[in-house]
Each structure stands twice: as structure tokens, then as C-alpha cells.
């Protein structure tokens, strides 16, 4: 299968609609990462997502809809706090989990009675969703367990020959996946942290819980139990306090004749002397936005990627640390 990368315009959107309507897959940009989309009503198309990515069959998908789509067609029991949150943050990088009406393919939610819904703010995603006019089930457009894609090229590197079309909307600005929020209880509960932080949600909703996996308990966000985001090279992760150990490991690698790189924010980079640094940027939003691009660059240029965690650990960094630990820990 030939994989085309096309800019988003009338002709690529017509092709995208055609592919989706005949049960195929289209990769499209969002403000977080690139998604691999299929018609959420078409069970075979949704199954094709799992086969194409090699995704475990118990890891449910998020349904993406256009900003004008009436989600009450897909879900029920939307609590008042969720309406406030939708007004405050949508379209944007917040996925909300509700009781499902069971209208979309049951494969989307892997048999759960809930449905995760997201309204992406990326212009290209909105254009695609409007043109296709269907709810689109989509996980990140990478091979399962690899680093999520933030450019059309990243998608191509993983899925060339497996999908027909990648809509190219440039580099994703957000960089890490959406916050997943359980809206089925009296109080919203963060299942996966992201750019919309627990504090931001609590300010609007009054309160907000955060889910922590407990050994032996049923996992509420099945995707969280999997190893994710792994670059294809050896990795090591150090805390900010241990950054000099990171530098020592870097020197050891070089002396063994291995290619090494240090991935860290600008503050840490200042202490890394003449080491080869893949910079994550200065502030938390830059770090989130650059993380996956640097992980993919790291696997290309280094045998050993040595990550140093930023000093700041709250806000958006909660989501960054979750990914960084899974990728390099």
C-alpha cells in the first residue's frame, strides 16, 4: 500500500472522507499528537486500527468529534460540572469519559459501558471531522509502545505501507496526549494527566480527584497499565538532583565508544558542560511540546539516551513525568 502525506485542502479532505467511508484509516493532526482515525460506527474499521498499530485489544479508543457535534447522541448522564468544563476547555486537549449509549462500535471501548470523547482544537482536525461528518475513533498514530508522533513524518516512519493517507498539519503544538477525565462520578477524576491540569479542572468544577492505580483493583483507564512511549535505544532517567550522575554516565558511554545524548531542559543543560544535549526547552509547555520529538531524535542519533527530569514537578510536568518515566525509567 502506498502511503501519501498530503497538506490539508479540499482534495485531500475528499480523499480522507472516501477512505473513512469505505472502512479505511486516515492519520490526522491534533493539538496533542497525530491520531489514527476510523469511522467509530464501523466495527471492522475500528478493529483495523488495533491490527495496524499492534495495539492490545483491551486498550480503549477515544472518539473525536467536531465542535458542533451533539455528543448527547453518543453518551448520556452528562453531569453539570462536565458542561462547565466543556465550556471552559473545549475544543482542546481534554478527553471526557461518560456513560455510553452504545451507538458506536463496541470495540471502541473494549466492552466497557463508558465512552471517551474528545473535541480537538487543531484547525486541521476540525476541518477533517467536519468534512467527514462522522465520529472518528482514534488512538495515537504510532506503532503500539513506540513514541507518539508529533509530525506527519513520525507517522510515516511508523506506518508507511500500512495506511493510505496522512493529513499533514505541521508539528503538534501540545506535544503530549490529552488529559483523560472520568466524568461518570459526582466529582471529576483525572485518569491520565495532560496539558489541562488537575488544578485547572478543580478551579472550574470545584473539585477534582486523581486516579491512582491500586494493585489488584480493576484498572479504570486500561491504557495506563501498558509500557508506552519507548524510544528504540537504551535509556536512563535521572532526577534533577542527580544530574551530575547523568553527565558521568554520558562520559562513560563515550569512553566505551557508544553514541550518547543527554535530554534535559535548558536549566539543566547549563550544567552539562560540553555534552551533546537534546534540549527540551525552558518552560513546562515547551518541555511537553518537545518531548516526543526529542525522544525520536534520541533513538536516531544515540545508542544511549540519558534523560534528566526537570526540577519542577507540578502542573503540566505531572503529565510530562508520567511519559518520561514510561519512556526512559
Question: What residue ranges bind Mg ion (CB under 5 A)?
Answer: 139-140
Q: Which is nearer to ligand AMP, 148 or 235 (CB)?
A: 148
322 binds, among Mg ion, ligand AMP, none (CB under 5 to 8 A by kind): none
Number of C-beta neighbours around residue 228 at 10 A: 20
Cβ closest to Mg ion, residue 177 vs residue 265: 177
Residue 92 binds: one of ligand AMP, Mg ion, none (C-beta under 5 to 8 A by kind): none
In the complex with Mg ion, the residue whose CB is nearer, 227 or 256, is 227
- Rounded to a whole number of angstroms, the minimum distance from the CB of residue 285 to ligand AMP is 19
114 contacts ligand AMP (rule: CB under 6 A) = yes
Instruction: Confirm if 305 and 328 have CB atoms less than 8 A apart.
Output: yes
135-152 per-residue burial string, b: 16 or more CB within 10 A, e: under 16: bbbbbbbbbbbbbbbbbb
200-239 binders of ligand AMP (CB under 6 A): 221-224
Strand partners, 39: 136
Closest-by-Cβ residue to Mg ion is 140
Instruction: Reduce the secondary structure of 158-199 to three states and give it as a string.
Output: HHCCCCCEEEECCCCCCCCCCEEEECCCCCCEEEECCCCCHH
- 192 forms part of the interface with ligand AMP (CB under 6 A): yes
Q: Does residue number 109 form part of the binding site for ligand AMP (CB under 6 A)?
A: yes
Query: Under rule CB under 6 A, how many of the chain's residues touch ligand AMP?
Result: 20
Calpha distance 323→226 (Å, rounded)? 11
- Residue with CB nearest ligand AMP? 223
CB of 231 to Mg ion, least distance (A): 15
Contact between 94 and 118 (Cβ < 8 Å): yes
Q: Among residues 104 and 272, whose Cβ is nearest to ligand AMP?
A: 104
Q: Tell me how far, at minimum, the Cβ of 118 lies from Mg ion, in Å.
A: 13
Contact status: 298 vs ligand AMP (CB under 6 A):
no
Answer for which of 26, 116, 288, 321 binds ligand AMP (CB under 6 A) is 116
- Give the footprint of ligand AMP on residues 48-107 (CB under 6 A): 59-62, 97
- H-helix or E-strand spanning residue 322: helix 316-328
Residue 149 interface partner, choices Mg ion, ligand AMP, none, CB cut-off 5-8 Å depending on type: none
Give whichever of 60 and 298 is closer to ligand AMP, judged by the CB atom.
Answer: 60
d(CA 136, CA 70): 14
Of 205, 212, 221, 200, whose CA–CA distance to 79 is shortest?
205
Does position 191 interact with ligand AMP (CB under 6 A)? The reply is yes
Shorter beta-carbon distance to ligand AMP: residue 93 or 298: 93
- Cβ nearer to ligand AMP, comparing 112 with 143: 112
Using CA atoms, how far apart are residues 197 and 194, in angstroms rounded to an integer? 6
CA angle 304, 327, 147 (to 5 degrees): 100
Question: Which letter, b or e, does each residue of 63-102 get, where b requires 16 or more Cβ atoms within 10 Å of its Cβ?
Answer: bbbbeebebeebbeebbebbeebbeebbbbbbbbbbebee
Amino acid at each position: 500500500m502506498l502511503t501519501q502525506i498530503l497538506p490539508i485542502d479540499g482534495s485531500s479532505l475528499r480523499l480522507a472522507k472516501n477512505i473513512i467511508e469505505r472502512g479505511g484509516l486516515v492519520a490526522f493532526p491534533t493539538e496533542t499528537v497525530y491520531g489514527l482515525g476510523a469511522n467509530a460506527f464501523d466495527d471492522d474499521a475500528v478493529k483495523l486500527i488495533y491490527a495496524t498499530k499492534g495495539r492490545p485489544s483491551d486498550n480503549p479508543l477515544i472518539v473525536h468529534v467536531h465542535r458542533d457535534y451533539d455528543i448527547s447522541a453518543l453518551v448520556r448522564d452528562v453531569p453539570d460540572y462536565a458542561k462547565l468544563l466543556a465550556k471552559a476547555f473545549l475544543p482542546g486537549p481534554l478527553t471526557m469519559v461518560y456513560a455510553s449509549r452504545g451507538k458506536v462500535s463496541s470495540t471502541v471501548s473494549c466492552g466497557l459501558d463508558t465512552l471517551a470523547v474528545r473535541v480537538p482544537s487543531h484547525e486541521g482536525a476540525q476541518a477533517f471531522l467536519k468534512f467527514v461528518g462522522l465520529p472518528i475513533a482514534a488512538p495515537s498514530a504510532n506503532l503500539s509502545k513506540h513514541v507518539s508522533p508529533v509530525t506527519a513524518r513520525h507517522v510515516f516512519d511508523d506506518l508507511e505501507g500500512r495506511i493510505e493517507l496522512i493529513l499533514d498539519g505541521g508539528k503538534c503544538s501540545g506535544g503530549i496526549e490529552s488529559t483523560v477525565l472520568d466524568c461518570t462520578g459526582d466529582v471529576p477524576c483525572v485518569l491520565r494527566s495532560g496539558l489541562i491540569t488537575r488544578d485547572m479542572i478543580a478551579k472550574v468544577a470545584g473539585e477534582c480527584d486523581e486516579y491512582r492505580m491500586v494493585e489488584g483493583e480493576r484498572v479504570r483507564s486500561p491504557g495506563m497499565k501498558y509500557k508506552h512511549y519507548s524510544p528504540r535505544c537504551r535509556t536512563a532517567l535521572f532526577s534533577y538532583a542527580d544530574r551530575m550522575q547523568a553527565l558521568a554516565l554520558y562520559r562513560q558511554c563515550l569512553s566505551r565508544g557508544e553514541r550518547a545524548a543527554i535530554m534535559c531542559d535548558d536549566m539543566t543543560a547549563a550544567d552539562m558542560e560540553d555534552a551533546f544535549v537534546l534540549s527540551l526547552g525552558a518552560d513546562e509547555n515547551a518541555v511537553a511540546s518537545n518531548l516526543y520529538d526529542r525522544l525520536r531524535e534520541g533513538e536516531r542519533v544515540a545508542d544511549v539516551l540519558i534523560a534528566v527530569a526537570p526540577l519542577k514537578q507540578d502542573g503540566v510536568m505531572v503529565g510530562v513525568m508520567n511519559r518520561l518515566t514510561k519512556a526512559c525509567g
